[in-house]
Amino acid sequence: MDNDTTIKTENLSKAYRSFWGRKKILALDKLNIDIKKGEIFGLLGPNGSGKTTTLKLLLGLIFPTEGRALVLGKTTNDVDVKNRIGFLPEESCFYRFLNADEILDFYGQLFKISRKERKARIDRLIEQVGLGLARKRPLRQYSKGMLRRIGIAQALINDPDLIILDEPTSGLDPIGTRETKDIILALKERRKTVLLCSHLLSDVQDICDRVAILDKGKLQISGTIDELLSSKDVVEVLIRNLSDEAISEVETFIKERHGEVISVKNSSDTLEGLFLKIYAANINNSKTDV
């Protein structure tokens, strides 16, 4: 494992077992990914595809049934390495009777951050996630979006090198989403590594350097956004202010040169299109399996 790799998984697999120890669900099937230092990596997939499972395996909350994962060069059971990780869980639930200040202070203490430093960081983070007005209210009075924000703040309390975010924008309003994306991009500027998972494609498309798409626990495809979206034999020509006659002239020209016009409309392939394409292909596959 070279210095540049932050996360590496080798055949990482997880089968949830029933109470009696029988295999129930193969939630993750032989996942191999590499995440480099300083990149924003997006894990994509429909609900139940194993994204959260992957993150929990990386954090040592659950244990793999096969394979292994190295995070910052250590196995997942290493406690010290957690000093350098920040995690936002899928559902942000905290001690309900504490207020924002207290919960951040509690986590800060677990990291053994000094009192003065803790105070400064808490002030800064609460400002950053926009909870300045609500910081003295107990968390049980918070809305889902506010809990999400406090969740992001607690993930950053230790100024981590690796930030793992499970659906960071779920439950946030558009402004909150924008702010969260800005926070993530700011982290990238400071050479931090971010691993996030989401089913919201626009989030991923906006900020991720590389993505991996999971479906039913299997890695379908991975690479940079550009790689994934470009097709080698398809050229996209974006034209503005062209009359209809001119467009048909262009079409005839292409046909003369034995090209094939796929479509002529105001469209561009998006991640969403790709996503649906993969998902549809899988459904077709499973149909033929039956």
Partner 1 sequence: MQQILIIAKQTFKEAVRNKILFVFIILGLITICCSVFMPVVGDGREKIRIVESMCFRSITFFGTLAAILLSASSIPTDIENRVLCTITTKPVQRTNIVFGKIIGFIYIIGVLLIIMGGAGYALIKFTASKQSAQGNSKLLAREKFDPYTSQVTGESVRKIGNVSWVEGGGKGTSVWKFKGLHSKDRKDGLEIEIDFLVESKKRSTRKIPINIKAVNPYTAKVLTESIEVSRNKPGLLKLGSEFLEGGEELTIVVSPENPGDFIGISSNSIRVFFGNKSFEYNFLKGLTIISSQFLLMVIIAVLGSTFLSLPVNILFCLFIFFCGNITDFMRDLSTVINVFETHEHGHGISTVLKKTNVFVVFLDYVIRKPLFLLSYILPDLKNFSVGKYFVDGINIPYKTVFMSFGYAVLYAVFCLPISFVVFRRREIA
Ligand X SMILES: Nc1ncnc2c1ncn2[C@@H]1O[C@H](COP(=O)(O)OP(=O)(O)O)[C@@H](O)[C@H]1O
Helix (H), strand (E) at residue 151: helix 144-155
Q: Which is nearer to Mg ion, 125 or 172 (CB)?
A: 172
Residue 28 phi/psi, 5° resolution? -145, 130
C-beta of 195: minimal distance to Mg ion in Å?
13
Asked whether the beta carbons of 216 and 49 are under 8 A apart, the reply is yes
Contact characters 84-123, partner 1, x per CB under 8 A: -x-x-x-xxxxxxxx-------xx-xxxx-----------
Does residue 82 bind partner 1 (CB under 8 A)? yes
Map the footprint of Mg ion across residues 260-279, applying CB under 5 A.
Answer: none
**Residues 251-285, buried b or exposed e (16+ Cβ, 10 A)?**
eeeeeeeeeeeeeeeeeeeebeebbeebbeeeeee
Q: Enumerate binding residues for ligand X (CB under 6 A).
A: 16, 25, 27, 45, 47-53
Helix (H), strand (E) at residue 5: strand 5-17
Number of residues that bind partner 1 (CB under 8 A): 30
Six-digit token string for 181:
């994306």
For residue 61, what are the CA distances in angstroms to 3, 19, 54, 77, 250? Answer: 25, 18, 10, 9, 58
Per partner kind, with CB cut-offs from 5 to 8 A, the member of ligand X, Mg ion, partner 1, none near residue 96 is partner 1
Angle subtended at Cα 113 by Cα 107 and Cα 114, rounded to the nearest 5 degrees:
125
Distance from C-alpha of 224 to C-alpha of 258, rounded to nearest angstrom: 31
Per partner kind, with CB cut-offs from 5 to 8 A, the member of partner 1, ligand X, Mg ion, none near residue 107 is partner 1
Does residue 137 bind partner 1 (CB under 8 A)? no
Does residue 49 bind Mg ion (CB under 5 A)? no
Count of beta carbons in the 10 Å neighbourhood of residue 72 = 20
Does residue 154 bind Mg ion (CB under 5 A)? no
Q: Which is nearer to partner 1, 106 or 279 (CB)?
A: 106
Per partner kind, with CB cut-offs from 5 to 8 A, the member of ligand X, Mg ion, partner 1, none near residue 226 is none
Among 15, 59, 221, 254, binds partner 1 (CB under 8 A): 59
Among 52, 99, 177, 180, binds Mg ion (CB under 5 A): 52
Helix (H), strand (E) at residue 224: strand 218-224
C-beta of 186: minimal distance to partner 1 in Å?
22
For partner 1, the binding residues (CB under 8 A) are: 56, 59-63, 79-83, 85, 87, 89, 91-98, 106-107, 109-112, 154, 158
